[in-house]
Each structure stands twice: as C-alpha cells, then as structure tokens.
Amino acid sequence: MLASGPVYASPIIPEAELAGPAVGILRLAPPKCRVWQATSDRADSRAFGKAVVAFGGLACVARSKRPSPGLIRLSAKKKKKKNKSVSSRTFEVATTPESSDTNLRMLAKENAKLIAKLEAQTATVEDKKRLAKLNRELADLVETKADSQTAVREELAKRTEAVDELKTRRDGISKVLKQLTDSEKVDLLFLVDCTHSMSPHVSAVKQRINDITHNVMARSSALQMKIGFLGYRDIQDKRRFETFNFSHDHTAFKNFVSGVQVEGGGDGPEDIAGALKRAVDFGWASPTRVILHLADCPCHGSKYHGLRDDYPDGDPNGLAPEQLLRRLRDANVNYYFGKITGFTDQMIQIFNQAVSKDKEFVQVIPLTSLSNFTEEVSHSVGASIAATFMVDTGLKSMDGAISVELVKGKTKHVKIDKAQPSWKAMLPTEASVFATQRLRSMSDLKGKDLGLCAARPADAPGSRVWIKIAPHSFAAGANRYAHWAKMGMVSGKTSLHDRSIAVDWETMVAKQFKKDVVTTDVRARHLAQMENSMVASFLAVEYNKVKKPNHKRVEVLRSYVIHVGSEFYTIEKPLPPASEFLRFSSNSGFWNSEHYNPTLGEFSRWTLRATKGYLLVSDLQGVELPDRIVLTDPAILCEDLSRFGGTNLGPAFMERVLKSLNALERCV
C-alpha cells in the first residue's frame, strides 16, 4: 500500500557549528512534488519497485502521479557473464519523471544499451571499452552516494550527541539549583555566655542584630533563615538559661535579645556542658545548621583550663562536652566559636582532638574587636551553606563550575611562595600562545564561540615566545593555582640556551587548574576561561563609554592560553600592586555586602541589557582602586549553555544574580 505525506529533517551544518544554537527543521520536498511511502502491502511494494530497499520505501514524484515501477534504486548488480573478457553491471538509478539528474539518467540508459549489445553479441571493441568505462564511473557514483550518506549519518550522530550533552547539562544545573536552594534554608543558633564579663558582646548582639540579619540575607534572595538564641550562665545561678526557639520572625528575636540581662557567674568557668545538652535538642530542621558560640571562659573541668574551678572534675551531672559535640557533628551542625580571650584555647584544642575527623569541628573565629562581628557571622553562615551544598551534591562544586560562597579556602600539601624566584637562574621554555578573535561589535557576541588564532605581534611575524614559570604558586583559589611568570619575545633563530641575548621580559601571572578539579579536557577549560575574559573585557570597555559620571571605571584583565610542553596555562598581567584582593560576587548569586560597590552592580545589569538578555558578567573579583576597579577571572552566564564553559550556569542563575543584587541594594 502507498501513502503520501511531508518529510522533515534538520538542515545540514558544518562541523564547526555543532556547538552553536539549536537548529530548526526543514520540510523536504521539491516544488510540485509529493513524497510517497510503501508499506508492507506486498502488491504495492512490488509495484513501487526497488525504492523500498534503497530509500526505506520513500520516493518523490509529481503531485499528480503515483510512483511507477522502473529505475528507482541507485545500486549495482552483477549480470551473468556471457563474454568473459568484459565485466558488465546493471546500474539502476533513482529517478522520477521530474528528476533533474539528467546526466546520471543518461549514463544509466547508455549502460543498459551497451549491455543489451553485449548480450546480443553485437558489441564492438569500442562498445566494450565504453562499457568498462561506464562501469567505473557509475561504481564511483554509487560509492560517492554511500560516502555522502555515511557523512550525513555521522553528522547527525554528532548533533544528537551534542543535544544529549546539552540536556544532561540542563538537568544537572536544575539539580544543583534545587540543592543550592535547599542549602539556603538555614537554622542559626546564637549560643551565648550571659554572665557579667560578657556584657560588651551581648550588647553587640543586641545592637547589631539588624545588621547581622540584613548582611546574611543580602547574600542571596533565596535565603530562608530561622534564628534562635540560647543564653547560659553558671550551674548555681537561679536563671541558668535564656531560650528563644528557632523562628523566621527576626523582629521577635531582636525584641527577645534586647530583654536578656547579663548576670551571674562566680568562678571562671561556666555551664557550657549544660548549654550543649540543650543545643543538641534545640529543634534543628533546616538543611544548613549553624551554631555561633560566643564565650570568654571555658567549661567546668580542670583539664580544660588553668582557672579556679568550683567543679574541677567537670559537670556535676555527668555531662561530657565531647559526647554532646559528637551528637551535634552527627546532626550536621556547623560549629563556630567566637574567641574573645585566650582562656578558651585549651578547651577548644581538647574538643577538636576528641571530635574532629577530617577537619576541625569547632572552627575558631577571632573576635578581638567588635568591629568585625557582623562580617564574621555572615561569613560563618555563608561557609555553612557552602558546606551543606557540597555534602548534598557529593560534587566538588560542579567540577569547579559554581562559586557557592565568598570565603577563603584552605589548600593542603601545596607550597605557596609569594616571593618571585631568581629569574636569572631559570632557563626559558618556548611556548605557543593563543588568543580569541577580537570582538568589534555587540553582534559578534552571539551565534557561536569565538575563533582561535596564534598570538603574534604584527611587527614581528617570525618571532617566538619564551616563558619562565615559577615552580611554586603564590596563591591558590578554589579551582586554580597562580604562578609568577616572565614572558618575552625573541627572533625565530634564537637559541633557548643563549644567555647573551637581551630579552624584554614582562611580568605575568600563569594560572593552572588543580588536578583534582579538572581531570579531562584541560585545554577546553583554559580556552573557555580565556573566552570569558575576552568577552568581559570587551563589555567593560563598552560600559565605560556610557557609565554614570560618579561610577568608577571597570577593567577586566584579558587572558591568553599558553601551551608549554604538555601543560596548559592561562596567562595575564598581574593585578595592580599594594591593593587588597576582594571577591565581590559569585556566579551562583551571592554578593559580598561588606565590599559592595554600586559600580559593579550596575556593570552586571548593563551587560544583560546591552546584550538584550543574552548574557551577564558575574563572579566579579579583583581590586578596587580610587579611580577604577580591576577584575580578573570573571564568569559569563549565558542563555546558550553550549558556550563559555562549565561556569556558565544559564538563565536560572542569571535570575539569581539579579534577585540577590536587588535584595542587597535594598539593605545597603
């Protein structure tokens, strides 16, 4: 049985554009033609001819006609040899009455006539030569057709793979977004010594509670934080505890804390064991759980300190602080201790020796002055959110793709040497340097990745690049190490061992991904990082042309990729010296309220407006100077997830960045 209908396919695209935007579909049909399909009906299938075999039962014919038997399939079939000196084949060519392939049809007809002559034994020597030539020509056509179909299938397979990878990435981002949102549900418990000696610090909690909540809440528009208060005194005091259960009502919390009085206490130590017992059963419910313990004196028990103690053997009720801390650890509570005096040092050391596994469970925050109190509380909550996110995902921050929090990480087993080495003692190494094609307009940003080119100065086309890279890093971030480097240009014939040559060395910074962060396709990660910096640098230049007069200029360091031996680095100029490196924001939607500058908020918004919603520059970090802000290693969030590498978390995180920015600006 025959049936007709439209046929659709995706357009054929070059391999270089496979990572571009999704393709549309095309309706396949020549003008005034219809596509017919043969089904399993035996009679019609026979009538439809060999197209069933060659094209899956499809043929294109004039709209007014049904397909007829005939020469439809392009194939080669051996004929029985009657003349051993000539190998003849019947070539059947896919045609329709309106076929435009006239030449192919004519060759097939000529081939059929010559075969007929050969079978009738009337073929001349010239006919036999012509037939042999036609055999070769038509065989080549069959092979070319097969190769073309194979190429199409391979290209479609690549396209399918790219689509599958994109879907997997979208699913992964959605999962991470949910887990990040869940980790932003926080229970924060203030565990506070409320005896007389703590009067200034209890007053700080009272006076700065609005600043604390605003500062913490400004880090993310999705943050849902419940706050509780557990004040304690000493065992013999009439009012041993002050309790405010977890609540979203921050005004009620403030009113409660305002009424807490500092009183009691006799000897040096206080009832920390009793307070920990209550903290264990405080009603923890949110995924992220934080205790901020403020105390100037240790717990009872002479082994914890050298002070006078009315209970030198420890808690009279038999409570062991170490056991209670283990229960808090097993409940996934993040414990921060605000250190006020040195009297608590021995206690904290004993606690961590008894409780800690891979890292110190009780993390000490120096509170030598009240000026950093608000910032330290905010950092504690932010670090706890990051820790919860990492545990829930089981990932190292999406292979380094997401910057969850604005805290300084610790790098183990890596030597950090901030001093530059003795460059004269180091031999240079030849390097290949790559850059992206230069952007000239906003329209260049869309469509596809920027192309690559070898970086060479226009006035020295035959030059070579020499590089010296310090063996030890001078800084370490979440994903990469930074090394001091020297880079210079020399003529093409200069020997690497020629120390007499004068080289104009320029100080640079070479950055390399950590081995445990990027395990595959290191080159692609470096290239993506370079493209991020190039695009952000171009946008910063354009922004400075239209910025508000009272805003600072924004500069983004351009980075390049260098290949040295078997290693890849990104290389850029160093940040201006004598300036503090700051993390202003992240690509996951956090903004550093302690160091927020309206210029950066406006710059991020402008990049979204200027590109008509296509991309947004995020993950802003660098140094702030009197007249400008210099940034390095930005991340591009883009609606096209196939671009800008793993740090591009797409539209959902673009929205988070803007919402958090709006929330921050309402608080500052």
Residues 546 and 463 in one domain: yes
Question: Checking DSSP bridges between strand 241-247 and strand 288-295, what pairing results, if any?
Answer: unpaired
Q: Are 508 and 575 within one domain?
A: yes
Six-digit token pair at 420? 């530059």
**Sequence-separated (6 or more) residues with CB below 8 Å from residue 153:** none
* Shared-domain flag, residues 317 and 219: yes
pLDDT digits (tens, 9 = 90+) for 478-511: 778 899 999 988 776 666 566 666 778 899 999 9
CATH of the domain at 204: 3.40.50.410
Q: Are residues 367 and 503 in the same domain?
A: no
Give the CATH number, domain containing residue 662: 3.30.200.20
Confidence of residue 203 (pLDDT cuts 50, 70, 90): confident
What's the CA gap between 359 and 194, in Å, rounded?
A: 29
Looking at the fold, whether 329 and 440 belong to one and the same domain comes out as no
Task: Clarify whether residues 467 and 318 are in a common domain.
Answer: no
Please count the structural domains in the chain. Answer: 3
User: What one-letter code names the amino acid at 9?
Assistant: A
Helix then strand then coil, in percent of the chain rounded to 5, is: 40, 20, 40
User: Of all helices (H) and strands (E), which one includes residue 186?
Assistant: strand 185-193
236: Cβ contacts below 8 Å, ≥ 6 apart: 266, 310
pLDDT tens readout for residues 363-397: 998 876 656 667 777 777 877 877 777 655 444 44
What pLDDT digit, counting tens, does each position of 294-349 carry? 999 999 999 999 999 999 999 999 999 999 999 999 999 999 998 988 999 999 99
Instruction: Decide the pairing of beta strands 224-232 and 185-193.
Output: parallel
End-to-end CA distance of the chain: 75
Determine the structural domain holding residue 50 and report its residue range: 1-73
High-pLDDT (> 70) share of the chain, %: 72
C-alpha closest to that of 290 among 378, 199, 169, 189: 189
Contact 191, 293 (CB under 8 A): yes
Examine the domain organization and report whether 379 and 449 are in the same domain: no
Are residues 546 and 483 both part of a single domain?
yes
- Are both 570 and 610 inside the same structural domain? yes
433 and 506 share one domain? yes
Whether 469 shows a pLDDT value over 90: the answer reads: yes
- 471 and 358 share one domain: no
Domain presence at residue 402: no
Whether 108 is covered by a domain: the verdict is no
Q: Which residues contact 632 (CB under 8 A, 6 or more apart)?
A: 533, 556, 557, 559, 572, 575, 621, 622
Count Cβ atoms within 10 A of the Cβ of residue 481 and give its class: 0-12 exposed, 13-18 middle, 19 or more buried.
buried
User: Which one of 53, 73, 93 terminates a domain?
Assistant: 73
Non-local CB neighbours of 222 within 8 Å, separated by 6+ positions: 180, 181, 184, 589, 656, 659
Q: Is residue 148 part of a domain?
A: no
Based on the fold, state whether residues 470 and 382 are members of the same structural domain: no
> 45 lies in a domain?
yes
Contacts of 616 (CB under 8 A, 6+ apart): 604, 607, 608, 636, 637, 638, 654, 657, 658
Residue 646 lies inside a defined structural domain of this protein: yes
DSSP one-letter string for 411-448:
--S--B--S---GGGSPPEEEEEEEEPPP-SGGGGSSS
